[in-house]
Chain A
Amino acid sequence: MALLEILTVPDPRLKDASVAVERFDQELRSFIADLEETRQAGPGAVGIAAPQVGRFQRIAIVDVSKTRKPVANHGHLVLVNPEITHWDGFELGREGCLSVPHYTGNVIRAERIRLRAQDAQGEVREFEMEGFEARAVQHEVDHLDGLLFIDRVVSRRTDLFQRKVYQKGGGGKG
């Protein structure tokens, strides 16, 4: 086990898209253990993505089971090659990022998602998620696509009802 170094802005590598994982071997699982250790060392981090530690593969960890006020969750999730297959609703919420120190901002995310991902053994799993957990997954999948939450930040006064489409790729000019 080892703590990995977290890339922070303005490191241009955070804008790189990650590639799919093809080999589900011991090396992958040992990296995932290191990634988890790194997540837990980050204060209050509910998720982390492999590109944040400089490994540009589609791997993320999400765990929202320990929030101050309990939220709907699927426990500790290792998400390999995650794919969001369905988006529904909008919600404004505050986000920060291990890769963006000293800043939090409001981001619009889909309220509910459907997700397909493999686990560390390569087994395909499907999830329906909502609220905080869905937000965490969207934040991490963005990392895999080379997007940061600061690419999606909106003003607190933003009117949700004016936005009709949740746009992949940021901006959200609905």
Chain B
Amino acid sequence: MANWNMLTLVGEDRPGIVARVTEALYRAGWNLGEASMMRLGGNFTIMLMVSGEATRSDLEEVVQPVAQSLGLQLHVDSIEGGLHRHMVPNIQVRVSGADRAGIVAKVTGALASTGFNILELESDVAGSAQQPVYIMCIQGYAETTVEALEEAVGSIGEEGVQVSVSPIETLIG
């Protein structure tokens, strides 16, 4: 049974990073699992599940030279877990409005108190530098009702901040 590792790379973005890294992994006999790459603040970031028969330090030896030549910081953890462990989100929460300190902590705290499990979170700042507009989109799984979640986030009541809760109906067919 192959071991899974979580490989994280962060650094200045430029074209061709994913190609260089995955080419090195492929040549050394490593397999890829789930991955998520994003540009955050102009930085390249990727988290990549990698499996193989060799050890974690072997993996580091394969990737480190590539990372160094691209000016990326590398981090590797051996992890428990594997593929096919997805949870399907059934609730979407959108937050938007004035960029208020602590709003993420308040919203996610209110959701957590209902047992809500965050599966995906994206946030960004739109608008202008003078008038920033904070936007956050959360997808997650809740056992409880939309109404109960609305009540939980409704008490936040920050001026100029809207929080909306809606169900996600995943179509299976």
To the question of whether A and B form a pair in one complex, the answer is yes
Asked if A44 CB lies within 8 Å of chain B CBs, one says yes
**Which residues of the other chain, A, contact B170 by a CB distance below 8 angstroms?**
94-96, 104
Q: Which of B84, B89, B167, B171 contacts A102 (CB 8 A)?
A: B84
Residues B172 and A68 in contact, CB atoms below 8 Å apart: no
B171→A94 contact, CB < 8 A: yes
Pair B168/A94 contact, Cβ less than 8 Å: yes
Chain B, 44-97, CB within 8 A of any chain A CB: 83-84, 86, 88-90
A37 CB to closest chain B CB (Å) equals 16
Q: Bound complex: CA of A67 vs CA of B83, how far in Å?
A: 28
Interface residue total, chain A, C-beta cutoff 8 A? 30
Q: Give the number of A-B contacts (CB < 8 Å).
A: 60
Is the Cβ of A132 less than 8 Å from the Cβ of B169?
A: yes
Q: Please judge, given known A-B contacts A68-B167, A69-B167, whether A102 and B173 are in contact too, CB under 8 Å.
A: no
Question: Contact flags (1/0) for B137-173 with A, using CB distance below 8 Å?
Answer: 0000000001000000000000000000001111111
Please name all residues of chain A whose beta carbon is closer than 8 Å to the beta carbon of B171 when the two chains form the complex: 46-47, 93-96, 132, 135-136, 139
Given A68-B167, A69-B167, check contact A102 B83 (CB 8 Å): yes
Are A102 and B172 interface neighbours, CB within 8 A?
Answer: no
The answer to whether A71 and B169 touch across the interface, beta carbons within 8 angstroms, is yes
Asked whether any CB of chain A lies closer than 8 Å to the CB of B120, the reply is: yes
CB contacts (< 8 Å) of A95 on chain B: these are 170-173
Which residues of A sit under 8 angstroms from B86, Cβ to Cβ? 102-104
Q: Which residue of B lies closest to A42 (CB)?
A: B172
Closest residue of chain A to B173, judged by CB?
A47
**5 pairs, A vs B, C-beta closer than 8 Å:** A46-B172, A46-B173, A69-B167, A94-B88, A94-B171
